[in-house]
Amino acid sequence: MSELKLHILGCYSATPRAFTNPTAQVLEIKGHLFLIDCGEGTQVQLRKQKIKFSRIKHIFISHLHGDHFFGLPGLLSTFRLLGRDAPMHVYGPKGIKEAVVTMLRVGHAWTNYPLIFHELTAMESEIIFEDEKVEVHTIPLTHRVYTNGFLFKEKEGDRKLDINAVLNYNIDKCYYQNIKKGKDVVLENGEIIPNNLLTNDPLPPKSYAFCSDTSYNETIIPIIENANALYHESTFLEPHEKLAKQTGHSTALQAASIASKAKVKNLILGHYSTRYNNIQVFKEEAEQLFKHVELAEDGKAFTF
């Protein structure tokens, strides 16, 4: 069965603390391990969650605030120390290459593996990664600096072979792959067997939307509509809504409003301000508008 698994490495805003970490996540989807943002302490959190460094080949950075990318130079340097030779692709705002390359050069820690930067400048959603199983779209967000969220989408898989129907028509195995690709079958007597008599629909493709950091922004709704899970920042609670607007952030209630209007299946809150002692209040606020609410916590994993 197809499933998405999300590992929360860090989910708090601003400065790291002894028991909380800034933003970083790993998404498992169709054989990929995608690293999303890379705040300080990311590689330590990867170790704690026993995630294999070598399986990470694509890193997506939302914006160039330190709590979202200051862990990146150290992680890339560690890959070198581990003897990595596989290419690493980094997707992020224009300027990320200069920032990272400068630190690596000054520290004489330049990589001995291909390091490929994909710098983003578009103000509209675009596809930035695609293979035969997955595609990744940007989600333009509204923050104090140029920022993107990311939508990770499975592609529709092969149709499911109805083995009883295939055997009933005595179809040779050599045709099975074409049948799963949606093709009809022509029997030796010239009879055409429609594909829908030989297969069942594939499982619906799944998707995950990552949105941090951003002010309340309804323009993202068509991009993330019907996602299986939405991670949406909730730095503040409604009593601090004016502060959220001033700093380019959202409240838990605003995140729930986006989730409701986009008809997503699950909402995960995160990027909590450390001014609040109890994150349970974020869930309570969001549930006023949207019922399927989860709280991100460092070290927690979600499966969809």
Residue numbers belonging to the annotated binding site for Zn(2+): 63, 65, 67-68, 143, 213, 271
- As a 3-state breakdown, the chain gives helix, strand, coil percent values, each rounded to 5, of 30, 30, 40
Q: Are the beta carbons of 85 and 116 closer than 8 angstroms? A: no
Taking alpha carbons only, the member of 4, 69, 18, 6 closest to residue 42 is 69
Asked if 184 is an active-site residue, the reply is no
And the tokens for 37?
A: 């943002």
And the tokens for 263?
A: 């008809």
Question: Residue 56's beta-bridge partner residues?
Answer: 33
What is the separation, in whole angstroms, between the first and last Cα of the chain?
11
And the tokens for 273?
A: 């301000």
Cα distances from 134 to residues 43, 131, 152, 155, 227, in angstroms, run 25, 6, 7, 5, 14
For the annotated binding site, the residues are 63, 65, 67-68, 143, 213, 271
What is the C-alpha separation between 32 and 54, in angstroms, rounded?
11
Catalytic residue from among 67, 85, 201, 298: 67
What DSSP character marks residue 177? H
Reduced to 3 states, what is the DSSP secondary structure of residue 258? Answer: helix
Please give the positions annotated as active site: 67
